[in-house]
Structure 1
Amino acid sequence: MTTHSSSPQVAFWLPLAVLCLAQFIASADNVTLSIATHALMNDLGASMSQVSTANTMYPLVAGTFMIAGGMLGGVIGWRRNFRLGCAIYLLAELCAILSPSIDVFIWVARILAGIGGSFMIPSVFGLITGLYRGRQQAMAFGALGAASGVSFALGPIVCGALLDTLGWRWAFGAMSLLLIGVLSCSLLIKEPEQSGQAIRFDFPGFILATLGLFLVIFGILQISSWGLLTPFNPPFTLFSLSPALFLVAVGGLVLFLMLRWERIRERRTGSAMVPRAFLHTPQVRAGLYLTAYIFFAYSSGIFCVVSFSQLVIGLNAIETGWLIVPFALCLASCSLGLPIILHKRNPRKECRIGLCAGILGALVTAAGINEHIFSLALITLGLCFIGASMGIIAANAPFLVTSGLPEKESRQSGGIQAAARDIGQALGVALVSMVMLTTLTLSMKNQTQDVPLSSQTRQIMQHLAVIPYLGDTTFNAFMVQTGVKSQDLPALNHVYQRSRAKVTRSGLWAMAIFTLLFLAGTKNIPTGKRNDSEG
């Protein structure tokens, strides 16, 4: 470790606590927004579509600029980049507190939050990589994963309490106070020593990476509302198909051109936004692949459970937070506990066990969901497996990336790791929600053919492009707006409740299937045992 102090334990934990608090804030900020839906609608007159846009703005903007933020840290210094990100994030929270309208909240506060996160989070990775070595680095990354797990549970509980008692502005105000604390305590973090030659910022690569990532992440995020192939309600269609995958494909082409440019630049200058080592080191590719899984599992599994518990069961934010606590405890204990307890580790075995736990967790959680109620025991057990899965992967993935790279590239990896996380998060929500909406629409159309309904209602049901995932009261209002006769509502409600439980299980089954694909990508993880005590 490059930090020198008369107290090694303080020198280790104090900077790490500041960095983990920054990670906690970034996660808790997004959790707070997700539970502030009704408050924003009531106070700012926001529509559901505008709230959805606010929720997607952070992963879209942050994911777009993450790689650039990771390179900028190597140019201006990691601590300075970290403090710059914290300052921008603080400005974003202040704008949220003072927002007079939902437009200011979306287009100023959330965009600034995304930009701040794109500087702050890669710097957290860069500082950990530069300040810690060997087993201490593995423990630091484990603590970082634990901080995310704690925020997933405490966010809904603490921020939900603030929302219910003081209002949503106070919840974002609490984030502001925490950020002021992080900025003040960041003076205690030493700047890592420079590694190798100085890095020059890559402006052509920045433009290509930004455009490519924006198109890929935006396209993925729109799958749930525009449709994968069959169009739901897109602003336009291409050959009668949804444009979502077209945007992803164009973004992928731009990123391919960016990588070609990066090879040329690296040969000329010795530095690149995405160095060659990231693409040609199997261990690093596997680590990035698993990094994406961590937030894929959270966004898909928790999305299904939270949607059902709040819309169907009627749990509020605080009750939902308590439901997620066992999941978060398992995530934090596995993420932080494995590097502390195990000195000799088998990364491939651990990651495969983690992914199998994720598959088991999705299946057990699905088994606990019925039409009107869910089995609390099965839901809790399933979420514990999913949390343990994420924790095990979080204890391995970042260290797999950094330990497989040269010093300079390993510090720069934070932006690429963070971008992988944002893509995984967007992919999880988009794919699972697309599966749920498609399955719900098809199930309703098929089942209503065998239910005694008026011809008008039957015709309306067959012509609906998409049937949304709603609570019973909201579903009835939606059906009335489409022209369904009131006498047909009881029969439709019964079919809808049965279909809704089925598609919630389908979303979790989809998570299990996609986790199998991640399991297939573990072959490049080292098979020998690694001794983390080195360094």
Structure 2
Amino acid sequence: MRKWMVLLTLSLSMFIIVIDTTVMNVSISALVVDLNTSVTGIQAAISLYALVMASFILIGGKLADVIGKKRTFVLGLAIFGVGTAMASISTSLMMLIIGWSVIEGIGSALMMPNIQTILREAYEDKDRATAYGVISAVGAVGAAMGPIVGGFLTTYYSWRWAFRLEVAIVIVVLVCCRYISTELRQGSRPKFDFIGAALSIFGWSTIVMAVLLGQSYGFWVAKQPFVIGSMELAPLGLSVVPFVFLTGVTLIFVLFSWTAGRDEQGGVAIFRPSVFRTAGLKAGIAVRFIQMAVMAAFLFTMPLLLQLSFEFTAMETGLALIPFSLALLVSALGGARLSAQFSARLIIQTGFLLAIAGLILIAITVSPDAEPSDMATGVVFGAGVGLIASQILNLVLSSVAPDQTAEVSGLNGTFEQLGNSIGVALVGTIMLGTLTTGLQDRVMAYPDLEAEAKVEITQALQNSVELVSSSQLAEAMQDAGASVDQSAVILKAYGEERTQSFKIGVWFLVFLSLLGLIVTRSLPNRKLV
């Protein structure tokens, strides 16, 4: 029994990390009301959480080399607890971002890579395969239970209780950490690559911030000037976004150049680019990136669709996602058992095919006349994602030598969270952009408006459109003094364009999944057991 206490400790840690974001997704509408913010604001908080994790995961892996895996894990757990406690008492979006997105994100980043490396060192052979299967299953259970737990607490109590329960679990895990062995240090303490760490943080942060800024400022042509103090930036009528993105790419290029130079000289680097020479590693990390982008975007999009189009409560949203959640759980557990019969590549490819089929069914089903039960087609998507999740982590980590596990785990975690962050940011931007363009086109086609009025309205819509429910829009129209006939026309137009924006968002996920399927061709064709 004592042997499996390490697995229990790590599983509880994985559970609270995974359930955290899924709880947020079904609580979006409640958060918007309680914190007096918008869907766009909560989207930014969710993306920022994943961004902070992506920026600090490499640091979490390398810090373990300096102070030890157990100490780094416990430090991350404590930071996570502080951030969770702060999130539970948030009174504004900014307070939520500081507590949840930043502090909790840093804690998660210190924990994640060390969960995987401690697990690898604690078990061998069949026990290790079992442990990886359990961790994958726990991740699936967290993803499955998150919408239900979050929906129940948000509807009948408060979304704050989800964070309070996480604090309680953190305390239990801290007590259980005594079962994790403290590694004995041999030789002098390794140095830390502060320059590489800084380049990693600012590089990845800048790239994701560019995606988030594109929503407000345009991805190429400036929707509005970027204001710093009294200075407005819109060079040659262009948005600041491509310049911000180019800055991020440049910093990442410098990061790879810096680490390659340190690696060649035998110095300490935040990671060694030479690990990418391992067969299939680049493809494995790319597949994980795409899988997480699709998964995160789906879990952001579907609760919004259910709550805004069907006016579901958080609890009803969680219940509606049960078919998807159960399919994900069963598929993740079943996929681990298939490892002895089939190659990981074949299982992952099958997963992508199922995910694509499920998303196409959802895209076809979404319409203004759709029923909530139509969203049960998410079961096919869930089964596909579960199959991918059951294989990809083990495939990535088993492709390198034991002494490279911590490093590759950190890299894998970085791209995992980048996928999370970019997936949510992109799908949110696409949906809002589609909604804005659709409403502008309707205004321009409206016969009873003069040309000057059409231009004024379309310009006003450019930066003021938000995703809201029909009841919220009706209330706003009433407050604005609109007539019954005017409200009816606007509500019908908005509802149709909102549905179209969700449909386009799902088709974007189909495209990403097809891209993932293509990348799987470069994965090694071998069994994991």
Instruction: Calculate the TM-score normalised by the size of structure 1.
Output: 0.88
Taking a change above 3 Å as real, the CA distance of residues 194 and 319 of structure 1, as seen in their structure-2 partners, is: farther
**Residues 195 and 407, structure 1, Cα contact 8 Å, conserved in 2:** no
| Structure 1: gaps spanning 5 or more residues | 1-6
Per-residue deviation at 1:432? 1.8
**Which residue number corresponds to residue 259 of structure 1?**
256
Per-residue deviation at 1:89? 0.7
- Secondary structure of the residue aligned to 1:143 is helix
**Which residue number corresponds to residue 167 of structure 2?**
176
Deviations 1:465-512 (A, max 9, x none): 153332223335667899988753322322222222222111111110
For 2:505, the aligned partner's letter is G
Q: Within 5 A, what are the aligned runs for 1:384-395?
A: 384-395=379-390
The reply on whether 1:92 has 2:83 as its aligned counterpart is yes
The reply on whether 1:244 has 2:241 as its aligned counterpart is yes
For 2:389, the aligned partner's letter is A
**Residues 155 and 314, structure 2, Cα contact 8 Å, conserved in 1:** no
Q: Distance in 1 between matches of 2:187 and 2:249?
A: 31
**Residues 448 and 492, structure 1, Cα contact 8 Å, conserved in 2:** no
**Which residue number corresponds to residue 400 of structure 1?**
395
Q: What number of residue pairs does the alignment pair up? A: 520
**Which residue number corresponds to residue 376 of structure 2?**
380
**Which residue number corresponds to residue 294 of structure 1?**
291
Q: Distance in 2 between matches of 1:196 and 1:357?
A: 50
**Which residue number corresponds to residue 493 of structure 1?**
491
Q: Distance in 1 between matches of 2:147 and 2:41?
A: 21
Q: Which moved more, 1:165-174 or 1:100-109?
A: 100-109
Per-residue deviation at 1:83? 0.9
For 1:454, the aligned partner's letter is L
The reply on whether 1:462 has 2:458 as its aligned counterpart is yes
The reply on whether 1:427 has 2:422 as its aligned counterpart is yes
Q: Distance in 1 between matches of 2:225 and 2:104?
A: 27
**Which residue number corresponds to residue 230 of structure 2?**
none
Q: Within 5 A, what are the aligned runs for 1:360-379?
A: 360-374=357-371, 376=373, 378-379=374-375
**Which residue number corresponds to residue 3 of structure 1?**
none
**Residues 86 and 96, structure 2, Cα contact 8 Å, conserved in 1:** yes
Q: Which moved more, 1:447-456 or 1:479-488?
A: 479-488
For 2:134, the aligned partner's letter is A
Q: Distance in 1 between matches of 2:270 and 2:61?
A: 8
Q: Distance in 1 between matches of 2:256 and 2:428?
A: 31
Q: Within 5 A, what are the aligned runs for 1:66-465?
A: 66-99=57-90, 102-191=93-182, 199-232=190-223, 235=226, 236-269=233-266, 271-374=268-371, 376=373, 378-381=374-377, 383-455=378-450, 458-463=454-459, 464-465=461-462
Per-residue deviation at 1:212? 0.7
Q: Distance in 2 between matches of 1:300 and 1:38?
A: 17
Q: Distance in 2 between matches of 1:92 and 1:15?
A: 24
For 2:468, the aligned partner's letter is L
Taking a change above 3 Å as real, the CA distance of residues 334 and 196 of structure 1, as seen in their structure-2 partners, is: farther
Per-residue deviation at 1:134? 4.5
**Residues 430 and 505, structure 2, Cα contact 8 Å, conserved in 1:** yes
Q: Which moved more, 1:276-285 or 1:249-258?
A: 276-285
For 1:391, the aligned partner's letter is G
Q: Distance in 2 between matches of 1:256 and 1:161?
A: 45
**Residues 371 and 501, structure 1, Cα contact 8 Å, conserved in 2:** yes
State the superposition RMSD in angstroms.
2.9
Taking a change above 3 Å as real, the CA distance of residues 360 and 162 of structure 1, as seen in their structure-2 partners, is: same
Per-residue deviation at 1:344? 3.4
**Residues 28 and 151, structure 1, Cα contact 8 Å, conserved in 2:** yes
Q: Distance in 1 between matches of 2:120 and 2:256?
A: 24
Taking a change above 3 Å as real, the CA distance of residues 98 and 319 of structure 1, as seen in their structure-2 partners, is: closer
Taking a change above 3 Å as real, the CA distance of residues 305 and 45 of structure 1, as seen in their structure-2 partners, is: closer
Per-residue deviation at 1:266? 1.6
Q: Distance in 2 between matches of 1:68 and 1:442?
A: 41
Identity rate of aligned residues, in percent?
A: 26
Per-residue deviation at 1:84? 0.9
Per-residue deviation at 1:39? 4.8
For 2:214, the aligned partner's letter is I
Which of 464, 468, 471 matches 2:469? 471
